[in-house]
């Protein structure tokens, strides 16, 4: 560590070295800041001074600024000097200038123009070194402005006959970079065909760069680059059959061109196996050669040799798995990976486990993978590295089938006891899924889930225990066993709250099945459950109270005991409103209702509809990037926030889950009263489908209805309810309308220019709604801008029930008006007519956009025409809370851009409105003034109607 | 494609940062913090790969410096390790027995060398000779700064 600062080659900048030394010698952060401020002052004065600086000094100071920036300090000057360096004739000055620009992208649009100008000159210079600097700068910054300026120029450089090889390489990768961030600006054309032929180039560096570019382009439009398949196979074949000296410097530790080989194999993964048989067998030969070479004794003991060789092997295996068509190759691949499972290199063990996961999903190699089960289980027990163990869990999950499920579940359960906290929840989900999927005998399933709760109760999510209840309810062969098992599990002095939930629910439903045994008589069951009561959280206590009232129905002999409990002060005067209400209502119900009524209300739960497991959905969400939108409104349509006596998703729920667990399609008891509403799903009535067929199809529109029902009362169009409209600007879910009879709830999701709204109609009364219709109408001007298609809805809504309607929406162009939901139905003798303005607003079609502060201000200036900007100053209607404001702006649909506005109090956002006809970029800025309790909101978009509408919508929110 | 490359010391001091996709300074700071804490917490002789969000992190320690490379999920981990190694070789060839101080005091050179080797998140030139030759050629341009640039034979 005492080595002196290295002598810089080329031209050293002594001043810079001294400055870096000084900084390193600073004893404290304060001292460092002081030294930096001194230097900044010095540089500023040099830049401002009268004396013109020579190129060397300018370079030195710019380099110092760069160093300061890289230390993590802000730099707000020097950009102009750096830009000046770009046009220097001296390579070293130009190079520093470009480095500075690449690292500190500047927001000044004038500068971007100057930078682009310098780049243009260098690209035209025909000097390969300068051209490369310019291309690197474009690739490093890669902003849209640069893409706009150069996207058509670079392909020309790439395919020109006289371009030097090193420039071709840079041009290919520069184009690749622009294509990734601004694909719309990179024109496809005649050059694409010529790029493919670069695969034949003599220079392997050019081939490598070109392969990267072609792979990216082929992923987006495979058809245009099909000709690359044969060229890639030919090239690969030449590499794998070459001797190590053939490729000279492209041989890496005795491995022929590993980077190029891997890239070619990747390119081939964009396509299915070649149809041409000759080509196909040539590729198979290549792959076999790679597999063979991997088995040869190593040519070097260096890890680099083995890494490079195995990198090609793993990529070849990826291609074999991708094609999934050659059983021999798949099995060979599996066997070779099997050898790695016990390799002394941790990296290889890790990769082998990972790669085998995909092999397990192929029907050809699934069995071959299974033969390694003992090795993988051993890895779970002995690997020291948690990331390797995690791969082992993944592989066990992937190789599981009916034949080995019991063994794998047992091993996972035993691993769970010591597993890293970070992966416990995932293991719990996996075990729960495997246990359900491969259960032949559901007693095993019940045991497994209870074991999960015992071992890792804290990591058992709601989905898991909801699911076990669903399954027990749906399978009457396991109900008695489940009741017995939970009863036994509850005997443990300390049991997890999740077990109390499952126990409470199952004994409440099926406790009667074990009540014949005196050791689990009704009173014993009740006392057991109630002994846990005071240890539980409120939702669990609520669930237990529901279990108690179910007990009163099941076992009249404990009625008095339970009534006593319900009547106690700790229940009737519970500080928690929900608990208190339940205690009061259940007590009352137990006193006044006849046994018949109780029996009807608390009849056994009807089976749940069979659906994909909600646990699987959760695991997919945990693993996959395509997350489903969250639902913020947990209230059900009837308005009462129900607790967990029925499986209802908590805050993390998704649509799939909701559909799975909320019995929305099940009618409520006909005699619904306020009590019934909160206990509704404890009872059951005949399925609604039986009633459906009795009814004629619903009429489609409001006008039709007027003809059918000529009562004068409905001839006047109802007033359109708008009161909740603006509450939906920044959120998608909630109750949009409610009166004494009906509640209308919405759940909406939007993607690009499409949207879907789930409308829930809840009948708050105990009487049927008849001739129920609902349709969507739009003012004429809106009809061409926004298309709303409403699915038909059942014409009868039972008392206490709710039905769902789906609206599909397409935004054709920007719009201002909103569609109206017209609802009609007969209640008692009268026709009800309700119209609600649907909260489909322009901002719903936002896609948030990330941009740098430079891009933002560049855009902001471009949108400076008076009609593009709309500004509004208004008084705050709500407390001015920063977090709430942020949440609202995000809910509005734009990205919140941090550190763009010089004033940190202000909020700046950006997004793109997607409609079928156009995309409109939008920038917004919100400036709060807490003293005056005012806001100023400014919107800039390329279209005045859009600016206007967005401003109206958003300004209502604060 | 590669997303970023970070070099930091055992004490968590950042020595080099290369971002292949645009990112806000705030995001960068967060990533740097995440990477240093994650990588420095790893036990010796564990594997060199980690999953982080939807990326793969490949890291390796050379003397006092950690090299930490983030690549997209379909990339080849072993070759990513060798990209790190090749970069170390290039630094070593240039500085002669490279150490952390070389990179501190000649940070701009470390960036230049990286730019000759990688571009836009892809490997640009895998031949060590060619990269070395173009780095030497740039140095010659620096020394003979007053000479006309086009007289220098760059790629003989």
Residue A107 lies in a domain: no
Q: Could you count the other beta carbons within 10 Å of the beta carbon of residue A121? A: 13
Q: How many domains does chain A have?
A: 3
Strand segments (E) across A778-865: 786-790, 802-811, 820-827, 830-837, 846-848
Q: Indicate whether A554 and A426 sit together in one domain.
A: yes
Final residue of a structural domain among A602, A629, A650: A602
B156 — contact with chain A (CB < 8 Å)?
A: no
Backbone dihedral angles phi then psi of residue A790, each to the nearest 5 degrees: -105, 130
Does the annotation flag A548 for ligand binding?
Answer: no
Q: Indicate whether A561 and A510 sit together in one domain.
A: yes
Can you give the three-state secondary structure of A863-880, one letter per residue? CCCHHHEEEEEEECCCCC
Q: Indicate whether A854 and A834 sit together in one domain.
A: no
- Residues in chain A with CB shorter than 8 Å from the CB of B49 are 347, 350-351, 387
Strand segments (E) across A56-109: none
Q: Cβ of A258 and B22 within 8 Å?
A: no
Does the annotation flag A63 for ligand binding?
Answer: yes
Q: Measured between alpha carbons, how far is A822 from A774 in angstroms, rounded to an integer?
A: 5
**pLDDT value at residue A106:** 55
Report how far Cα A922 is from the mean position of its chain's Cα atoms: 24
CB proximity list for A678: less than 8 A, separation 6 or greater: A581, A582, A585, A640, A642
Average pLDDT on A433-440 reads: 89
Final residue of a structural domain among A555, A583, A602: A602
Q: Could you count the other beta carbons within 10 Å of the beta carbon of residue A624? A: 10
Residue A103 lies in a domain: no
Enclosing domain of residue A933: 843-956
Residue B51 has pLDDT above 60, yes or no: yes
Q: Indicate whether A821 and A868 sit together in one domain.
A: no
Q: Indicate whether A862 and A735 sit together in one domain.
A: no
**pLDDT value at residue A610:** 66
Q: Which of A320-334, A634-648, A797-811, B99-113 has the lowest mean pLDDT?
A: A634-648
Closest in A63, A173, A249 to B130, CB measured: A249
User: Considering only residues 52 to 81 of chain B, which have any Cβ-Cβ distance to chain A shorter than 8 Å?
Assistant: 54, 74, 76-79, 81
CB proximity list for B113: less than 8 A, separation 6 or greater: B87, B90, B91, B94, B131, B135
The per-residue DSSP string of A6-33 comes to: PPPSSS--HHHHHHHHHHHH-SSHHHHH
**pLDDT value at residue B155:** 34
Q: For residue A357, which of A414, A306, A317 has the smallest C-alpha distance?
A: A317
Q: Measured between alpha carbons, how far is A171 from A128 in angstroms, rounded to an integer?
A: 11
Residue A686 has pLDDT above 50, yes or no: no
Q: Indicate whether A546 and A562 sit together in one domain.
A: yes
CATH number at residue A445: 1.25.10
Q: Indicate whether A903 and A832 sit together in one domain.
A: no
Give how far B50 is from chain A: nearest CA, Å: 7
**pLDDT value at residue A666:** 32
Mutation target to probe the A interface, by most A beta carbons within 10 A, among B126, B131, B137, B156 is B126
Q: Cβ of A350 and B120 within 8 Å?
A: no
How wide is the angle at C-alpha B50 spanned by C-alphas B47 and B51, nearest 5°? Answer: 150
Q: Which of A141-145, A585-589, A599-603, A731-735 has the lowest mean pLDDT?
A: A599-603
Helix/strand/coil for B4: strand
Closest in B79, B143, B155 to A259, CB measured: B79
Does the annotation flag A916 for ligand binding?
Answer: no
pLDDT in tens, A211-247: 999 999 999 889 999 999 999 999 999 999 987 667 8
pLDDT interval class at A859 (50, 70, 90): confident
pLDDT in tens, A637-677: 333 333 333 333 333 333 333 233 323 333 333 333 333 33
Q: Indicate whether A761 and A795 sit together in one domain.
A: yes
**pLDDT value at residue B29:** 93
Q: What is the largest CA-CA distance in chain B?
A: 54
> 């649009």: which residue's tokens?
A109
Question: How many Cβ contacts (< 8 angstroms) between chains A and B?
Answer: 194
Q: Indicate whether A500 and A587 sit together in one domain.
A: yes
b/e burial code for range A528-542 (CB count within 10 A of at least 16 → b): bbeebbeebeebbbb
Q: Which of A103-117, A680-694, B61-75 has the lowest mean pLDDT?
A: A680-694
**A316: closest chain B residue by CA:** B76
Which structure tokens are listed for A15?
Answer: 């001043």
Which structure tokens are listed for A931?
Answer: 């003293």
**pLDDT value at residue A188:** 85
**pLDDT value at residue B111:** 95
Closest in A11, A180, A897 to B143, CB measured: A11
Does the annotation flag A174 for ligand binding?
Answer: no
Residues A793/A922, Cβ–Cβ less than 8 Å = no
pLDDT interval class at A739 (50, 70, 90): confident
CATH number at residue A765: 2.60.40.1230
pLDDT interval class at A713 (50, 70, 90): very low
pLDDT in tens, A92-148: 899 999 999 998 875 556 788 889 999 999 999 988 999 999 999 999 988 888 899
Mutation target to probe the A interface, by most A beta carbons within 10 A, among B52, B76, B91, B104 is B76
Residue A654 lies in a domain: no
> 């709710």: which residue's tokens?
A802
Mutation target to probe the B interface, by most B beta carbons within 10 A, among A10, A71, A73 is A10
* DSSP-derived pairing of the beta strands A907-914 and A846-848: antiparallel
> What's the distance, Cα to Cα, between the start and end of chain B in Å?
31
**pLDDT value at residue A441:** 85
Q: What whole-number percentage of chain A has pLDDT above 70?
A: 87
- Residues in chain B with CB shorter than 8 Å from the CB of A385 are 43, 46-47
Q: Measured between alpha carbons, how far is B105 from A926 in angstroms, rounded to an integer?
A: 44
Q: For residue A213, which of A266, A161, A166, A258 has the smallest C-alpha distance?
A: A266
Q: Measured between alpha carbons, how far is B5 from B114 in angstroms, rounded to an integer?
A: 10
Q: Measured between alpha carbons, how far is A843 from A837 in angstroms, rounded to an integer?
A: 16
Residue A323 has pLDDT above 90, yes or no: yes
**pLDDT value at residue A836:** 93
**pLDDT value at residue A704:** 28
**pLDDT value at residue A612:** 60
pLDDT in tens, A5-45: 444 444 567 889 999 999 999 999 999 999 999 999 999 99
Q: Cβ of A99 and B106 within 8 Å?
A: no
Does the annotation flag A511 for ligand binding?
Answer: no
Final residue of a structural domain among A580, A602, A624: A602
Q: What whole-number percentage of chain B has pLDDT above 90?
A: 69
Residue A104 lies in a domain: no
pLDDT interval class at A378 (50, 70, 90): very high
Closest in A10, A105, A314 to B142, CB measured: A10
> 């006008």: which residue's tokens?
A703
Average pLDDT on A842-846 reads: 92
Report how far Cα B39 is from the mean position of its chain's Cα atoms: 16
Q: What whole-number percentage of chain A has pLDDT above 90?
A: 46
pLDDT interval class at A625 (50, 70, 90): very low
pLDDT in tens, A489-506: 999 988 899 999 999 999
The per-residue DSSP string of B38-73 comes to: HHHTSPTTS-SEEEETTEEEEEEEETTEEEEEEEET
CATH number at residue A914: 3.30.310.10
Residues A450/A489, Cβ–Cβ less than 8 Å = yes
**pLDDT value at residue A474:** 86
Residue A204 lies in a domain: no
Q: Indicate whether A809 and A881 sit together in one domain.
A: no
Residue A358 has pLDDT above 70, yes or no: yes
- Residues in chain B with CB shorter than 8 Å from the CB of A304 are 82, 85
Residue A532 lies in a domain: yes
Distances (CA, A) of B117 to A128, A204, A949, B96: 16, 14, 50, 18
Average pLDDT on A850-864 reads: 83
Does the annotation flag A3 for ligand binding?
Answer: no
Closest in B49, B78, B120 to A387, CB measured: B49
pLDDT in tens, A173-186: 999 999 998 888 98
Which domains does chain B possess? 2-155 (3.30.450.60)
Q: For residue A208, which of A227, A235, A226 has the smallest C-alpha distance?
A: A235
Residues A163/A125, Cβ–Cβ less than 8 Å = no
Q: Indicate whether A880 and A795 sit together in one domain.
A: no
**pLDDT value at residue B121:** 95
Q: Indicate whether A455 and A513 sit together in one domain.
A: yes
Residue A810 lies in a domain: yes
Residue A470 has pLDDT above 60, yes or no: yes
């Amino acid at each position: 560590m005492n080595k002196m600062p290295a002598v810089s080659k080329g031209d050293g900048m002594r001043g810079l070295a001294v400055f870096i030394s000084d900084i390193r010698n600073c004893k404290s952060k304060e001292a460092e800041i002081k030294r930096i401020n001194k230097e900044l002052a010095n540089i500023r004065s040099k830049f401002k001074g009268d004396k013109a600086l020579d190129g060397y000094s300018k370079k030195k100071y710019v380099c110092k600024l760069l160093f300061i920036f890289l230390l993590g300090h802000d730099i707000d000057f020097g950009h102009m000097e750096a830009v000046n360096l770009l046009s220097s004739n001296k390579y070293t000055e130009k190079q520093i200038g470009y480095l500075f620009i690449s690292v500190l992208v500047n927001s000044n649009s004038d500068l971007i123009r100057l930078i682009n100008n310098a780049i243009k000159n260098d690209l035209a210079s025909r000097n390969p070194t300068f051209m490369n600097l310019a291309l690197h700068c474009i690739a490093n910054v890669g902003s849209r402005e640069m893409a706009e300026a150069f996207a058509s120029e670079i392909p020309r450089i790439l395919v020109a006959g006289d371009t030097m090889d090193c420039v071709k390489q840079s041009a290919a990768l520069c184009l690749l970079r622009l294509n990734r961030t601004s694909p719309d600006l990179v024109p496809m054309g005649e050059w694409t065909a010529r790029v493919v032929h670069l695969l034949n180039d003599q220079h392997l560096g050019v081939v490598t760069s070109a392969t990267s570019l072609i792979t990216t382009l082929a992923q987006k439009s495979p058809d245009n680059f099909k000709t690359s398949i044969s060229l890639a196979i030919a090239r690969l074949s030449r590499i794998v059959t070459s001797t190590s000296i053939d490729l000279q410097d492209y041989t890496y530790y005795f491995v022929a061109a590993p980077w190029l080989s891997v890239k070619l194999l990747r390119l081939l993964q964009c396509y299915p196996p070649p149809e041409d048989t000759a080509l196909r067998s040539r590729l198979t030969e290549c792959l076999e050669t790679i597999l063979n070479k991997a088995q040869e004794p190593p040519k070097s003991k260096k890890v680099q040799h083995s890494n490079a060789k195995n990198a090609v092997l793993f990529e070849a295996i990826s291609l074999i798995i991708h094609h999934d068509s050659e059983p021999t190759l798949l099995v060979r691949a599996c066997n070779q990976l099997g050898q790695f499972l016990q390799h002394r290199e941790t990296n290889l063990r890790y990769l082998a486990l990972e790669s085998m996961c995909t092999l397990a999903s192929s029907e050809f190699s699934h069995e071959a993978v299974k033969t390694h089960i003992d090795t993988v289980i051993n890895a779970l027990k002995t690997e020291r590295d948690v990331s390797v163990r995690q791969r082992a869990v993944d592989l066990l999950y992937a190789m599981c089938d009916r034949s080995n499920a019991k063994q794998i579940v047992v091993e996972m359960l035993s691993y769970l006891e010591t597993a890293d906290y970070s992966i416990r929840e995932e293991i719990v989900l996996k075990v729960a899924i495997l246990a359900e999927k491969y259960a032949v005998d559901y007693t095993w399933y019940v045991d497994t889930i209870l074991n999960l709760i015992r071992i890792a109760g804290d990591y058992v999510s709601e989905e898991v225990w909801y699911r076990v209840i669903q399954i027990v309810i749906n399978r009457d062969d396991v109900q008695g066993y489940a009741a017995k098992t939970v009863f036994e599990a509850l005997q443990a002095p300390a049991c997890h709250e999740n077990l109390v939930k499952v126990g409470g629910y199952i004994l409440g439903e099926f406790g009667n099945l074990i009540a014949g045994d005196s050791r689990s008589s009704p009173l014993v069951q009740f006392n057991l459950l109630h002994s846990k009561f005071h240890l539980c959280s409120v939702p669990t206590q609520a669930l237990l109270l529901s279990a108690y009232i179910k007990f009163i129905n099941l076992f009249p002999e404990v009625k008095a005991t339970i009534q006593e409990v319900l009547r106690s002060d700790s229940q009737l005067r519970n500080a928690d409103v929900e608990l208190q209400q339940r205690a009061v209502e259940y007590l009352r119900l137990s006193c006044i209702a006849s046994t018949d009524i109780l029996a009807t209300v608390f009849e056994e739960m009807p089976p749940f509809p069979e659906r994909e497991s909600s646990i699987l959905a959760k695991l997919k969400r945990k693993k996959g990037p395509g997350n489903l939108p969250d639902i913020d409104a947990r209230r059900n349509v009837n308005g009462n926030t129900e607790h967990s006596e029925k499986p209802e998703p908590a805050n993390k729920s998704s649509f799939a889950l909701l559909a799975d667990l909320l019995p929305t399609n099940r009618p409520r008891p006909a005699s619904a009263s306020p009590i019934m509403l909160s206990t509704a799903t404890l009872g059951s009535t005949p399925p609604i489908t039986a009633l459906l067929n009795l009814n004629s199809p619903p009429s489609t529109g409001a006008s039709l209805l007027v003809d059918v029902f000529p009562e004068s009362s409905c001839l006047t169009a109802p007033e359109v309810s708008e009161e909740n409209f603006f509450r939906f600007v920044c959120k998608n879910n909630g109750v949009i309308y409610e009166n004494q009879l009906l509640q209308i709830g919405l759940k909406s999701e939007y993607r690009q220019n499409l949207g879907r709204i789930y409308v829930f109609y809840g009948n708050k009364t105990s009487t049927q709604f008849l001739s129920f219709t609902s349709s969507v109408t739009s003012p004429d001007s809106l009809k061409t801008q926004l298309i709303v298609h409403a699915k038909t809805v059942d014409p009868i809504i039972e008392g206490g029930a709710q039905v769902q309607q789906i609206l599909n929406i397409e935004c054709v162009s920007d719009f201002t008006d909103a569609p109206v939901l017209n609802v009609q139905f007969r209640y008692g003798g009268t026709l009800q007519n309700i119209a609600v303005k649907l909260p489909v607003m322009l901002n719903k079609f936002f896609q948030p956009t990330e941009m740098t502060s430079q891009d933002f201000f560049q855009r902001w200036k471009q949108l400076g025409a008076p009609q593009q900007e709309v500004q509004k100053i208004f008084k705050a209607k709500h407390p001015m809370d920063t977090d709430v404001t942020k949440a609202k702006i995000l809910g509005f649909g734009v990205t919140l851009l941090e550190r763009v506005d010089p004033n940190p109090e202000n909020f700046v956002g950006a997004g793109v409105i997607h409609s079928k006809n156009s995309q409109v970029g939008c920038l917004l800025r919100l400036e709060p003034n807490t003293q005056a309790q005012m806001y100023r909101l400014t919107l800039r978009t390329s279209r005045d109607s859009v600016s206007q509408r967005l401003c109206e919508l958003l300004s209502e929110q604060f | 494609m590669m997303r970023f490359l970070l070099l930091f010391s055992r004490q968590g001091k950042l020595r080099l940062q290369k971002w292949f996709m645009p990112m806000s300074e705030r995001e960068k700071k967060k990533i740097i913090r995440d990477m240093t804490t994650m990588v420095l917490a790893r036990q010796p002789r564990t594997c060199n790969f980690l999953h982080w969000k939807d990326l793969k992190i490949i890291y390796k320690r050379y003397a006092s410096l950690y090299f930490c490379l983030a690549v997209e999920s379909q990339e080849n981990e072993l070759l990513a390790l060798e990209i790190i190694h090749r970069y170390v070789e290039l630094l070593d060839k240039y500085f002669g027995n490279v150490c952390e101080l070389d990179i501190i005091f000649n940070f701009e050179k470390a960036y230049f060398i990286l730019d000759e080797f990688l571009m836009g998140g892809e490997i640009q030139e895998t031949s060590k000779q060619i990269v070395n030759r173009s780095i030497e050629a740039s140095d010659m341009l620096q020394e003979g700064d007053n000479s006309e640039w086009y007289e220098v034979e760059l790629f003989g």
